[in-house]
Amino acid sequence: MIHVSRETMKTVIVFILGVLLSGLIKRYTDIRIEFFCYGALALAWKETVIRRITDRRMMRCLTLTADLVFLFLMARSIKYVYMEGRIAIGLAAWYSYGVLQMLIAMVSFLMAVNFDSKKDYRRPLSVAVMVITAILSILVLTNNIHQLAYRFHSEDVFNDYSRGPLYFLFNLWTWGLLAVSLFLLFAKCRLTMSRRYLWLPVLILLVGGLMVAGVVFFPDHFPLRRYYMFSEIFCITIILYWESLIQIGYIPSCSEYNQIFDISTVAMTIVDDDLVTRRSSRTAKRASEDKDHLKRSHKIEGGTVYWYDDISKLNRINDEIRTRVDLLSEENELIAAQNEMNEKKKTYEVTDRIYTEINNLTRSRSEKIKELVETGGDLALIAVYGAYIKRKANLYLLASQSEKLPVMELFLSIRDSLDYVKLGGTLTSVFMDEKTGSEEADPAFLNEAFDRYQEFIEKHLPDIDSVSVVIRKSEDIEVRMELAEGEEVFYERIG
């Protein structure tokens, strides 16, 4: 339900009574004071707009609308009352009707376009509307040249005339802009309650438009013609249209600032620049600054507002937080200890998995060592098997820790193995240049190369006269192995 404050209700009642009184004076007396009555109502409405509207841009647009309404009424009075018989001035005032009504509609449109927007009137759509309005205004003001708005059939220009196409065009433009402004406000409004009362401004525009049409096109058959002229109906419609938008909440407003202090539970005071108290809430006198209440201030136009923030709930929350933090710190210590144990456990599990895999990889060589020991086999072959187990475990551990391994590790592994091959009287050599030794390779390749070397050696032991291994890099890492057994020479290349 629409809420109307007492002050606004008084203004609305005075406005309605003023409109009715002006119509009655016009109908039953010869006193021509319409301009003073309607002009005073327009200025009174402007004053309420300044007092109620909280948005500065909207307030400026509405006050400009009120000023244009006042000028519209002044032009009407100049034509019919104060400059009667002066044709040139009367025509200028008459033509200004169309210009002013288009300006009123244009301001309404611009206000709707820029409603709830940080951008100003330089939008392309706004500029286009202003240009079209300017063109139509110029055409209306130069009607004496082309007579497209009003066609005069004799020297009695105010009575013997007809309306031309330009008249209907600028009236269509005026009412079209008003209708579009209402549509834009509706589209931008997010308040469900305001949307429910859309019918009110629509009804005002519809009734106002029908009344204007009745006064203009059917003056002899329209009874209100005796009470109100076109200009008065148009101005009343514009004011009621925007007032209805204010009342239903499309335009933010507040007319009960004083009551805010009476019903507010916040301890606040407004003082002027001389520190004289202008407004104070009921709780302000009992308030004082302590640990649960902080005094704050904000500079406003003409003075300062002071208030107290109740932070007692915040203090209680902070106390609870400190208590919980103490508990959490103890829990965090327990969690940290548990995490440390979990990390150690995870490390042990990974280490155990790696050693299990190493054991599986070297199990066959371990069994062969056991078999050779039990049967009194060749010690050199036993040493070669042992060297393989040691170096294979080392390569596998390094591979589990890094994605790349130095080629030097393969060189050291093969050299260590060949040192044991020497024990059987075999001539051995292993060569790798410095450049190749500084390279890195895939751990899988190094493990494969060492396995292939071991298989090559085991295949020909113990009947080997000499062994030569060359590790080098051309395009890729390459391992070349060559051995002599009696009269035969065997070789193999890896990579």
CB 417 within 8 A of CB 457: yes
The pLDDT of residue 288 is 67
To which residue do tokens 């300062």 refer?
Answer: 304
Least confident of 348-362, 387-401, 450-464: 348-362
**Are 227 and 376 members of one domain?**
no
Q: Is 485 exposed, middle or buried (0-12, 13-18, 19+ CB in 10 A)?
A: middle
The pLDDT of residue 135 is 93
Round to whole Å and give the CA distance between 355 and 337. Answer: 27
- Which is it for the CA torsion 392, 393, 396, 398, positive or negative? negative
**Are 280 and 397 members of one domain?**
no
Round to whole Å and give the CA distance between 410 and 394. Answer: 10
CA neighbor of 101 nearest in space, from 48, 140, 50: 140
Q: Is the pLDDT of residue 1 over 50?
A: no
CB 310 within 8 A of CB 292: yes
CA 241 to chain centre: 33
Residue 383: pLDDT band (50, 70, 90) is confident
Residue 329 inside a domain? The answer is no
CB 478 within 8 A of CB 452: no
Residue 240's CATH number: 1.20.1070
Work out whether strand 293-300 and strand 303-310 pair parallel, antiparallel, or are unpaired.
antiparallel
In single-letter form, the type of residue at position 487 comes to: E
The pLDDT of residue 258 is 61
Q: Is the pLDDT of residue 8 over 70?
A: no
Residue 319: pLDDT band (50, 70, 90) is confident
Q: Is the pTM of this model over 0.85?
A: no
Q: Which residue has the higher pLDDT, 120 or 419?
A: 419
**Are 289 and 373 members of one domain?**
no
The pLDDT of residue 318 is 83
Residue 326 inside a domain? The answer is no
Q: Is the pLDDT of residue 104 over 80?
A: yes
**Are 199 and 285 members of one domain?**
no
CA neighbor of 495 nearest in space, from 431, 450, 461: 450
Mean pLDDT of 116-142: 78
Least confident of 25-29, 65-69, 102-106: 25-29
Question: Averaging pLDDT over each range in 339-353, 440-454, 473-487, which range is the top one?
Answer: 440-454
**Are 135 and 283 members of one domain?**
no
Least confident of 102-111, 237-246, 355-364, 394-403: 355-364
Round to whole Å and give the CA distance between 33 and 28. Answer: 13
The pLDDT of residue 315 is 82
Round to whole Å and give the CA distance between 105 and 65. Answer: 9
Q: Is the pLDDT of residue 342 over 60?
A: yes
Q: Is 44 exposed, middle or buried (0-12, 13-18, 19+ CB in 10 A)?
A: middle
Round to whole Å and give the CA distance between 214 and 207. Answer: 10
**Are 140 and 18 members of one domain?**
yes
Residue 267 DSSP label = -
To which residue do tokens 């020297």 refer?
Answer: 155
Residue 176 inside a domain? The answer is yes
Residue 138: pLDDT band (50, 70, 90) is very high
Mean pLDDT of 59-69: 87
Q: Is the pLDDT of residue 245 over 70?
A: yes
CB 399 within 8 A of CB 405: yes
- Give the rounded percent of residues in the chain with a pLDDT score beyond 70: 76
Q: Is the pLDDT of residue 481 over 50?
A: yes
The pLDDT of residue 406 is 84
Residue 121: pLDDT band (50, 70, 90) is very low
The pLDDT of residue 30 is 58
**Are 286 and 341 members of one domain?**
no
| Number of domains, the chain | 3
The pLDDT of residue 20 is 66
Q: Is 372 left (phi over 0), alpha (psi -120 to 50) or beta?
A: alpha
Residue 357's CATH number: 3.30.565
- Its domain, for residue 379, covers 335-494
Round to whole Å and give the CA distance between 140 and 127. Answer: 20
